[in-house]
Amino acid sequence: MSMQRWLAKILGKQGAAEQDAPFPLPWPGDRQSIYHFIALYADGNAPLPEQAQTLPDEDTLEGELRWVAGGMDGAFGHHGGGADAEEAADEILSALSAVLRKPSPANMNTFYALLKARPPLDYIDILTDKLPEAPSLSPQQVHDLMVWLATNSPDRNPVKCAIALLAFFPSDENRALVTTLGLHEEFTLFTAVALRNMLPEEAFDATLTALAKRVTGWGRIQLIERLPDEVSPATREWLLREGYANSVMEEYTAWDCATKGRLLAALSVDAVDDGVLTGAGDILAALIAGGPARDIHDYPEGAQACHRYLTLLRRSKNDDLRNLLNTSAIGAFAGDEDNNWETLQVEGWSDEIRQQIADDVEAIVAQEKWLTRVQQDLTACDNGDFYLALRAAKLLGIDTWEQVFARQQTVPNEANWYELMQTESPQRMERILQLAEQQLDLAAIAVDQIR
């Protein structure tokens, strides 16, 4: 029996209405519900604040390998999952049947322990395939239990399982419930998949994009991957201007943003504002860097997009140093003889366009605006501006040792020692040692090394 037919036995097309579902608590009564914890910060349009990033169950994970929020599911979702998935699904299905048949404390404890012990990504697809084949399961009872778990559970894995199964009960209340949980990156993947099942196709773009603007890591990656190929002009602009940026790797989002954001078309107009131009450069550099996701070799418009980006930048006053670094990355790729140009020529990387790119890169790097901006940002208080200026200075052949030394003097909590040690000057080495004696407890460091 299909999942749709199973649900249709009692749901028709409307989804289940939540019923009273008194279940025995399989956790201590003083533990905080994850949903209620996140809901405290649900209002507004910004990502969750720092104090909301640590989930209430964090202290119960003592001794386990810690991942950034959503990291384990994101990594294994992209790079392979767990073994014995069918056995896990069978165990959970059996325990679920027992709970719904007789919701005793013993049955609930067994079921909940199984949910806690295993990441749902390992087994959830198999479990949803098997649910309709379990004749004793009532869709209404499954719905009520999943709403109860999603709303009340203090542990992340049971909440993830509940979100995944609520995908088949698309009421307004359930959509709101899973969307609130998806504000935390630990749950965004499950929310993204659930919403794709819950929403009409015409609502995918607006709903997923609104949530993507409120997450910045793995959650944003998962949502952008699941956006439809055709999105609104507003979403396309957001993807190119800032949507690609995330706290994991821009390589994960670059291809989706380039294709769904229609990057080449955006660069084919006469006037492109600084935000879109800089974003385009970041996306192209990430595609060239390659790595864990589709890259420049999978983007047929890559050569033309790089050429248009450089053409626009060459006549732009935009002095964001990211553009200088991105220009260098494009030039290095186009000039790398180790690339398989026979294959790449089919994708538009002709000898002619590579030469045009080389000429543009040379002209752009020679522009005076970069030197002015580097000198300005080497005195900046902002860490990001300073270290970006260091990278740009190396590209321009500027000696930044004195600026790095001055920064270490004034900001002793920073660790610029590696940069400072990149010198062959005895006089500079003497100054480094004197500064280290002033700022570091060398005796304590020596004792730690002996231990």
Residue 432 near residue 421, CB atoms below 8 Å: yes
* The pLDDT value given to residue 87: 92
With tokens 């909590």, the residue in question is 413
In tens, the pLDDT along 171-199 reads 999 999 999 999 999 999 999 999 999 99
Mean pLDDT of 434-449: 79
User: What does the block give as tokens for 72?
Assistant: 């384990």
> What is the full DSSP assignment across 266-281?
HHTSS---HHHHHHHH
Query: What distance in Å separates the CA atoms of residue 309 and residue 378, rounded to the nearest whole number?
Result: 26
Query: What distance in Å separates the CA atoms of residue 89 and residue 109, rounded to the nearest whole number?
Result: 17
User: What does the block give as tokens for 22?
Assistant: 């008194």
Pick the more confident residue, 9 or 169.
Answer: 169
Question: Which positions ≥6 away from 131 have C-beta within 8 Å?
Answer: 3, 6, 93, 137, 142, 165
Given a cut of 60, is residue 16 above it in pLDDT? no
* The pLDDT value given to residue 120: 93
User: What does the block give as tokens for 94?
Assistant: 């059996």
> What is the full DSSP assignment across 366-419?
T-HHHHHHHHHHTT-SSHHHHHHHHHHHHHHT---HHHHHHHHHH-TTS--HHH
CA dihedral 277, 282, 285, 287 (to 10 degrees): -100
What b/e readout covers 278-302, taking b as 16+ CB neighbours within 10 angstroms? bbbbbbbbbbbeeeebbbbbebebb
Binned at pLDDT 50, 70 and 90, residue 447 comes out as low
Residues counted in the chain: 451
Binned at pLDDT 50, 70 and 90, residue 17 comes out as very low
Residue 52 near residue 184, CB atoms below 8 Å: yes
* The pLDDT value given to residue 12: 43
Given a cut of 90, is residue 1 above it in pLDDT? no
Given a cut of 60, is residue 451 above it in pLDDT? no
Whole-number mean pLDDT of the chain? 90
Question: Which positions ≥6 away from 444 have C-beta within 8 Å?
Answer: none
CA-based nearest residue to 287, from 252, 247, 331, 262? 252
Q: Would you give the DSSP letter of residue 29? A: T
* The pLDDT value given to residue 134: 78
* The pLDDT value given to residue 426: 95
In tens, the pLDDT along 25-69 reads 999 999 999 999 999 999 999 999 999 999 999 876 655 555 555
Q: Could you tell me how far CA 333 lies from the centroid of its own chain?
A: 25
Query: What distance in Å separates the CA atoms of residue 373 and residue 385, rounded to the nearest whole number?
Result: 10
Query: What distance in Å separates the CA atoms of residue 360 and residue 338, rounded to the nearest whole number?
Result: 21
Mean pLDDT of 65-86: 56
Pick the more confident residue, 239 or 121.
Answer: 239
* The pLDDT value given to residue 68: 55
Asked which of 6-15, 151-160, 194-203, 440-449 is least confident by mean pLDDT, the reply is 6-15
Q: How far is CA 380 from CA 164, 318, 404, 421, in A?
A: 47, 18, 11, 22
* The pLDDT value given to residue 7: 55
In tens, the pLDDT along 392-439 reads 999 999 999 999 999 999 999 889 999 999 999 999 999 999 999 998
Query: What distance in Å separates the CA atoms of residue 39 and residue 50, rounded to the nearest whole number?
Result: 15
With tokens 């970006």, the residue in question is 388
Given a cut of 80, is residue 8 above it in pLDDT? no
What b/e readout covers 8-21, taking b as 16+ CB neighbours within 10 angstroms? eeebeeebbebeee
Q: Could you tell me how far CA 358 lies from the centroid of its own chain?
A: 33
User: What does the block give as tokens for 171?
Assistant: 């009421």
Read off the pTM.
0.88
**Widest pairwise Cα distance in the chain:** 83
Given a cut of 50, is residue 79 above it in pLDDT? no
* The pLDDT value given to residue 73: 59
